[in-house]
């Protein structure tokens, strides 16, 4: 699952919602198009959040005297998708 799937669903949904004028008995193609477009936007957002979360790491070190050190690391290198 990635940006490609999200863009594909978004494009397919918008085509069905806005450009298709045919009708299938018992099926509302416009509503299916809007649902697919919404699913595509959701996939794109979730992929971006997941990629951002994967670049961040946190380490907690507990010392012998009981103190703790928290170190955070963030890689600003974009992931290879």
Give pLDDT tens digits for 46-79: 999 888 776 666 778 888 888 888 777 766 666 5
Domain enclosing residue 22, as ranges: 3-74
DSSP letter, residue 8: H
What is the tally of structural domains in the chain?
1
Domain membership flag for residue 65: yes
Instruction: Output the pTM of the full model.
Output: 0.66
Domain membership flag for residue 79: no
Domain membership flag for residue 20: yes
Residue 35, burial from CB neighbour count under 10 angstroms (0-12, 13-18, 19+): middle
Taking only the tens place, the pLDDT of each residue in 4-47 is 999 999 999 999 999 998 888 999 999 999 999 999 999 999 99
Helices (H) and strands (E) in the chain, counts: 2, 2
Residue 80 confidence (pLDDT) above 70: no
């Amino acid at each position: 699952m990635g940006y490609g799937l999200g863009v594909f669903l978004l494009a397919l949904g918008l085509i069905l919602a806005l450009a298709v004028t045919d009708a299938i008995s018992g099926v509302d193609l416009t509503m299916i198009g809007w649902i697919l477009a919404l699913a595509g936007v959701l996939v794109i957002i979730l992929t971006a959040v997941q990629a951002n979360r994967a670049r961040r790491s946190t380490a907690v070190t507990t010392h012998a005297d009981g103190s703790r050190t928290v170190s955070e690391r963030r890689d600003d290198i974009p992931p290879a998708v």
